[in-house]
């Protein structure tokens, strides 16, 4: 490998990126040094094992990735705005849709949701912490490092270009030479470790750390959705791990799993990928369903309609999610019988999903609705998600799928479910729980602007694409001729995309504005309508130990009961005992850094470096294993002070 | 976590601390993920079973003797591992050590045979890159072998901790968890024995 191959050259966009990355790094280093923030950064963030701080770091990284993926999207939409545009060439376009898809799903949607789960779930179940706080930090740092490894492909070595589905033989050595595809394999592999560990961690947390009295069927719906999501993660992610490893063997060590020489089987990749990929879709939608359930019942001031039906619907969806993967390649020759079976199993998923939609509507029926921003996102979700769902059923009809397979009809469909479901959900959850994280609300007026800009932009962008798709415009093309007649609708679509971009900027401005001007709160129940336990912690920003005294639960929606009975929520001095908490640890950060070294080495097939990195990982594992990690006790005095108990 | 907890003496040592209990449940879930991982590998192996291209077939190269010895070593090690845990529950540290070390030696013997087997195959012209079938073979058997290697290293480290700190609720939970892992590897091997070696020799006639 020569230096001029090492750094990606030749494209002004990439030089621009080089410069902006360089400036950002210099700026950060300067800021940290000049304001003497290094120690603060290390002590408060890099070594933290507090689930709320880890959650905030997940969310911050996800917002950053939303920006990166969004810029990719705008570049693509700019290229497609007019026929025969010369803004991006074919190879560059391929790289951009690949990184866009991968980043959005793996490094934006999932981490955003896992971030909110991290912040909220332990509070919602009345726990002091997660079951494995140290492991939680390992999860975050492996996700973060995997994301960074994937992202630098853009300027060092070159990005992957075989699509986020990485179909073989396209992703093999012949058609995708160079390190790009290796970045995909290793970035996802490292981040996947973190996701699996999160799955285990939260399963144990939810099963074992609930406050006394909180039976399974008294758990808040968001907790339920997280529980079910974690089950899917634990069974689906190993499939991805294996698939990625097998492709790595093909590319680096000459194995023949998916390559056609040596009698390998390219369709094996498609099957393994979607055996993970379809459940993945539910990993990013079920938590959003959970959040909307909370938000809708909170702002309709009513108990969630059909609580048990909601739970069973999610259980069914989770089970089905493993049985429908072939609908992603009806046209690739599975035969009529197989296609029919998968067509029917796919449509069956519509039933539990429909049940959920009706339950949300019934929850609002005769409710006293407050139109806050989280509620607006929830209402926007219901309307737009139905559009995505209906077109999904159209795609599930195998015979008809031959018409719109791999066209913009599909592109529009999955954006309608992913954006209206997952992204709206993330925004709703962020606004809803923002005061829990920071002790003040995001500004509601700006928040509504964000909602309308984004929601309208979204529809202007993606609705025309259904018609482009029916008109035959294929996905993943970098340009089209004027004679195709697709120019006008594409222009409309691009305008919508930029509207969404403006909506995102408004969100960022809102964060800044609210940080400066929002009124600080000192009540735990910021919206005044909270129902679940996270609203029962006394301070607006929960202290690191969460609850001074572990609450007991007597039914659904415990905080409503507290509010109605006008109970005193401040814990009594006599009940306060020292609280045991785990120590901070720098090991997860260091371990993830070694993962980076190993991953980077393997990407460039510099095996010495890969080995050095892996040895580093093992050493950190050993150090941790020998660590006695006894933790420490939070003293009664400190709790008294934090909870403002004056006796 | 390290709260003073009251237990009757029937509660095994490894379940006496809150951390121990959480870790054991977490590890069971991890084993669930491992089942998904190996199932994927088995599915891959079976799909590629007849795809030997121009390379040798399993029928030509597999030989029962080595595999039977490997199976014997690993099954015995699972048994001795069970005795080790039994000794641990009797708080007999020496017994734990003796039986665990026997377990590890049997595991090492298994590994030795496996490496020998791999080297032989490569000499006879069947390597990772020979055909889809051999890719599948080396990866599934190799993944299991790698697990055994990690198991040996891990249990060794835990034994060092027991030697230094004695049998506490913490260390005994670690020993117990590593024993679960060891039994799990044994179970996976039985599947490999059946799905890879027996099917390879019986069903695959050329
Ligand atoms: C924010 C506004 C967004 C815009 C304007 C946008 C636009 C696009 C465009 C233009 C493509 C390429 C279509 C093609 O050439 O075939 C694409 C593909 C894709 N997008 Fe988005 N997108 C957005 C958000 C998202 C989000 C939030 C997600 C996921 C959570 C997502 C997931 C995907 C995936 C998986 C692909 C397929 C990539 C591939 O073909 O390999 N997008 N998007
Ligand atoms: Cu699917």
Whole-number Å distance between alpha carbons of A130 and A132: 6
Residue of B4, B24, B35, B40 to mutate, testing the A interface (most A Cβ within 10 Å of its Cβ): B40
Least confident of A422-431, A535-544, A617-626, B23-32: A535-544
Contacts of B157 in chain A (CB under 8 A): 622, 625-626
- Taking the CB of residue A245, how many other CB atoms lie within 10 A of it? 19
Residues A83/A482, Cβ–Cβ less than 8 Å: yes
DSSP A581: E
Asked if B161 lies within 8 A of A622 by C-beta distance, the reply is: no
Nearest CA in chain B to A255: B129
C-alpha of residue A330 to centroid of ligand 2, in Å:
11
Residue B8 clears pLDDT 70, i.e. is over it: no
Residue A401 clears pLDDT 90, i.e. is over it: no
Nearest CA in chain B to A204: B26
Asked if B48 lies within 8 A of A626 by C-beta distance, the reply is: no
Is the CB of A413 inside a 6 Å radius of any atom of ligand 1? no
C-alpha dist (Å) from residue A266 to A50, A167, A168, A187, B136: 44, 8, 5, 22, 14
Instruction: From A68, A74, A97, give the residue whose CB has the most ligand 1 atoms within 8 Å, as the site to mutate.
Output: A97
Residues A60/A107, Cβ–Cβ less than 8 Å: no
Residue of B33, B55, B160 to mutate, testing the A interface (most A Cβ within 10 Å of its Cβ): B33
- Residue B1 has a pLDDT of 39
C-alpha of residue A392 to centroid of ligand 1, in Å:
16
Residues A59/A144, Cβ–Cβ less than 8 Å: no
Residue A160 clears pLDDT 90, i.e. is over it: yes
C-alpha dist (Å) from residue A244 to A201, A326, A421, A605, B34: 23, 19, 27, 16, 16
Contacts of A133 in chain B (CB under 8 A): none
Q: Which ligand is nearest to the CA of A273?
A: 2
Backbone phi and psi for residue A490, each to the nearest 5 degrees, phi listed first: -65, -40
Which pTM was predicted? 0.95
Question: Chain-wide mean pLDDT for chain A?
Answer: 92
Is the CB of A421 inside a 6 Å radius of any atom of ligand 1? no
Residues A266/A260, Cβ–Cβ less than 8 Å: yes
Percentage with pLDDT > 70 across chain A: 98
Contacts of A255 in chain B (CB under 8 A): 128-129, 135, 138-139
Instruction: From A69, A100, A161, A405, give the residue whose CB has the most ligand 1 atoms within 8 Å, as the site to mutate.
Output: A100
| Closest Cα to atom 39 of ligand 1 | A163
Phi-psi map region of A172: left, alpha, beta (phi>0 left; psi -120 to 50 alpha)? beta
Compute CA A634 distance to the chain's CA centroid, rounded to the nearest angstrom: 33
For the record, the structure tokens of A379 come out as 């209402």
CB pairs under 8 A between A and B: 119
ipTM over 0.90: yes
Asked if B29 lies within 8 A of A622 by C-beta distance, the reply is: no
Strands A579-581 and A632-634: antiparallel
Nearest CA in chain B to A195: B33
Q: Which of A200, A256, A625 is closest, CB to CB, to B132? A: A256
Q: Chain B closest CA to A578's CA: distance in Å?
A: 11
C-alpha of residue A221 to centroid of ligand 2, in Å:
24
C-alpha of residue A287 to centroid of ligand 2, in Å:
17
- Which helix or strand (DSSP H or E) is residue A634 part of? strand A632-634
Whole-number Å distance between alpha carbons of A140 and A58: 7
Asked if B135 lies within 8 A of A264 by C-beta distance, the reply is: yes
The angle formed by the CA atoms of residues A3, A6 and A7, to the nearest 5 degrees, is 95
Please state the length of chain B.
206
pLDDT 10s digits, A170-218: 999 989 988 999 999 999 999 999 999 999 999 999 999 999 999 999 9
Whole-number Å distance between alpha carbons of A149 and A184: 9
DSSP string for residues in A566-580: T---SPPGGG---EE
Largest CA-CA distance found in chain A, in angstroms, rounded: 81
pLDDT 10s digits, A409-452: 999 999 999 999 999 999 999 999 999 999 999 999 999 999 99
Is the CB of A500 inside a 6 Å radius of any atom of ligand 1? yes
Is the CB of A97 inside a 6 Å radius of any atom of ligand 1? yes
Compute the CA torsion angle A252, A253, A259, A264 (nearest 10 deg): -150
Q: Which of B23, B30, B131 is closest, CB to CB, to A262? A: B131
DSSP string for residues in B132-170: HHHHHHHHHHHHHHHHHHHHHHHHHHHHHHHHHH-S-HH
Q: Chain A closest CA to B21's CA: distance in Å?
A: 10
Per-residue pLDDT, averaged over B33-39, amounts to 97
- Residue A369 has a pLDDT of 92
- Residue A8 has a pLDDT of 78
Asked if B53 lies within 8 A of A255 by C-beta distance, the reply is: no
Asked if B53 lies within 8 A of A256 by C-beta distance, the reply is: yes
Is the CB of A276 inside a 6 Å radius of any atom of ligand 1? no
Per-residue pLDDT, averaged over A42-46, amounts to 91
Whole-number Å distance between alpha carbons of B97 and B92: 9
Compute the CA torsion angle A510, A511, A515, A517 (nearest 10 deg): 0
Instruction: From A70, A104, A476, give the residue whose CB has the most ligand 1 atoms within 8 Å, as the site to mutate.
Output: A104
Compute the CA torsion angle B77, B82, B83, B87 (nearest 10 deg): 130
- Residue A11 has a pLDDT of 76
Cis peptide before A496 (omega within 30 of 0): no
For the record, the structure tokens of A285 come out as 């939608």
C-alpha of residue A278 to centroid of ligand 2, in Å:
4
Contacts of B139 in chain A (CB under 8 A): 245-246, 249, 255, 257
Q: Say how many CA atoms lie within 13 Å of A545 toward its Cβ.
A: 22
pLDDT 10s digits, A79-133: 999 999 999 999 999 999 999 999 999 999 999 999 999 999 999 999 999 999 9
Whole-number Å distance between alpha carbons of B75 and B182: 10
Q: What is the CA radius of gyration of chain B?
A: 20
- Residue A211 has a pLDDT of 94
Contacts of B130 in chain A (CB under 8 A): 262
Whole-number Å distance between alpha carbons of A499 and A457: 5
Contacts of B129 in chain A (CB under 8 A): 253-256, 262
Contacts of A131 in chain B (CB under 8 A): 22, 26
- Residue B2 has a pLDDT of 41
Residues A603/A611, Cβ–Cβ less than 8 Å: no
| Closest Cα to atom 4 of ligand 1 | A73
Whole-number Å distance between alpha carbons of A551 and A120: 16
Residue A12 clears pLDDT 80, i.e. is over it: no
Whole-number Å distance between alpha carbons of B177 and B162: 14
Asked if B129 lies within 8 A of A255 by C-beta distance, the reply is: yes
Put simply, whether B131 touches A (Cβ < 8 Å) is yes
pLDDT band at A335 (very low <50, low <70, confident <90, very high): confident
Contacts of A275 in chain B (CB under 8 A): 40
Put simply, whether B130 touches A (Cβ < 8 Å) is yes
| Closest Cα to atom 34 of ligand 1 | A101
The pocket of ion ligand 2, defined by CB under 5 A, consists of: A 278
pLDDT band at A570 (very low <50, low <70, confident <90, very high): low
C-alpha dist (Å) from residue A36 to A28, A437, A520, A524: 12, 25, 26, 32
pLDDT 10s digits, A498-546: 999 999 999 999 999 999 999 998 888 899 899 999 998 877 788 889 9
DSSP A321: T
- Residue B201 has a pLDDT of 82
């Amino acid at each position: 490998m020569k230096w001029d191959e090492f750094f990606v050259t030749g494209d002004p966009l990439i030089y621009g990126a080089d410069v902006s990355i360089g400036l950002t790094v210099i700026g950060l280093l300067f800021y940290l040094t000049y304001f003497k923030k290094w120690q603060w950064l290390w002590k408060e963030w890099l070594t933290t094992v507090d689930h709320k701080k880890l959650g905030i770091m997940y969310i911050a990284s996800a917002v950053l990735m939303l920006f990166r993926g969004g810029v990719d999207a705008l570049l693509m939409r700019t290229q497609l705005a007019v026929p025969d545009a010369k803004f991006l060439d074919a190879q560059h376009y391929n790289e951009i849709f690949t990184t866009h898809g991968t980043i959005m799903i793996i490094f934006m949607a999932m981490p955003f949701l896992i971030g909110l789960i991290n912040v909220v779930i332990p509070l919602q179940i009345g726990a002091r912490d997660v079951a494995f706080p140290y492991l939680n930090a390992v999860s975050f740092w492996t996700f973060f490092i995997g994301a960074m490894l994937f992202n630098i492909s853009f300027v060092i070595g070159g990005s992957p270009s075989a699509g986020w589905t990485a179909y073989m033989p396209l992703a093999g050595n012949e058609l995708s030479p160079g390190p790009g595809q290796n970045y995909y394999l290793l970035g996802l592999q490292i981040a996947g470790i973190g996701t699996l560990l999160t799955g285990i961690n939260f399963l144990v947390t939810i099963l074992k750390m609930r406050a006394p009295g909180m039976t399974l069927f008294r758990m808040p719906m968001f907790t339920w959705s997280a529980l079910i999501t974690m089950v899917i993660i634990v069974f689906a992610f190993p499939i991805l791990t294996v698939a990625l490893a097998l492709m790595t063997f093909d590319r680096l060590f000459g194995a023949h799993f998916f390559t056609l020489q040596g009698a390998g089987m390219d369709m094996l990749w498609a099957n393994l990928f979607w055996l993970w990929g379809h459940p993945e879709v539910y990993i990013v939608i079920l938590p959003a369903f959970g959040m909307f359930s909370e938000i809708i019942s909170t702002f309709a001031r009513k108990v969630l309609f059909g609580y048990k039906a909601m739970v069973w619907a999610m259980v069914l969806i989770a089970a089905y999610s493993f049985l429908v993967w072939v609908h992603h390649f009806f046209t690739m020759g599975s035969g009529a019988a197989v296609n029919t079976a998968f067509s029917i199993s796919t449509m069956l998923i519509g039933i539990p999903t429909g049940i959920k939609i009706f339950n949300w509507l019934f929850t609002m029926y005769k409710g006293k609705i407050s139109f806050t921003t989280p509620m607006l996102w929830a209402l926007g979700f219901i309307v737009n998600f139905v559009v995505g769902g209906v077109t999904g059923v159209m795609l599930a009809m195998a015979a008809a799928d031959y018409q719109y397979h791999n066209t913009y009809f599909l592109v529009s469909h999955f954006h309608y479910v992913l954006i209206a479901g997952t992204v709206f959900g993330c925004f709703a959850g962020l606004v809803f729980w923002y005061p829990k994280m920071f002790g003040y609300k995001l500004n509601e007026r700006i928040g509504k602007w964000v909602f309308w800009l984004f929601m309208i932009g979204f529809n202007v962008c993606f609705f025309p694409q259904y018609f482009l798709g029916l008109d035959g415009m294929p996905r993943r093309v970098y340009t089209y001729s004027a004679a195709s007649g697709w120019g006008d609708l594409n222009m409309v679509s691009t305008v919508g995309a930029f509207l969404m971009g403006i909506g995102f900027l408004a969100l960022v401005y809102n964060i800044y504005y609210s940080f400066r001007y929002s009124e600080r709160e000192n009540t735990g129940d910021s919206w005044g309508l909270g129902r679940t336990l996270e609203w029962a912690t006394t301070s607006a920003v929960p202290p690191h130990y969460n609850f001074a005294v572990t609450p007991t639960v007597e039914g659904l929606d415990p905080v409503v009961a507290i509010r109605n009975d006008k109970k005193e929520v401040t814990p009594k001095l006599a009940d306060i005992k020292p609280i045991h908490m785990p120590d901070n640890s720098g090991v997860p950060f260091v371990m993830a850094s070694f993962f980076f070294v190993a991953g980077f080495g393997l990407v460039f097939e510099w095996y010495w470096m890969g080995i050095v990195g892996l040895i580093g990982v093992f050493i950190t594992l050993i150090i941790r294993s020998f660590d006695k990690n006894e933790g420490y006790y939070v003293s009664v005095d400190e709790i008294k002070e934090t909870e403002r108990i004056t006796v | 976590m390290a709260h003073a907890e009251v237990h009757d003496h029937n509660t095994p040592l490894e379940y006496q601390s809150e951390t121990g209990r959480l870790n054991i449940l977490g590890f069971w879930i991890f084993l669930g993920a491992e089942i998904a991982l190996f199932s994927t590998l088995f599915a891959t192996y079976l799909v590629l079973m007849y795809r030997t291209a121009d390379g040798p077939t399993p029928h030509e190269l597999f030989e029962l003797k080595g595999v039977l010895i490997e199976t014997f070593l690993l099954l015995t090690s699972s048994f001795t591992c069970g005795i080790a845990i039994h000794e641990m529950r009797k708080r007999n540290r020496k017994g734990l050590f003796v039986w665990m070390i026997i377990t590890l030696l049997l595991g090492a013997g298994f590994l030795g045979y496996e490496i020998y087997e791999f080297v032989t195959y490569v000499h006879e012209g069947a390597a990772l890159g020979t055909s889809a079938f051999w890719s599948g073979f080396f990866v599934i058997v190799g993944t299991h072998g790698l697990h055994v290697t990690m198991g040996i290293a891990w249990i060794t480290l835990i034994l060092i901790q027991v030697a230094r700190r004695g049998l506490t609720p913490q260390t005994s939970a670690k020993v117990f968890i590593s024993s679960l892992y060891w039994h799990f590897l044994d179970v996976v091997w039985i599947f490999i024995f059946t799905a890879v070696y027996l099917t390879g020799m019986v069903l695959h006639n050329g």
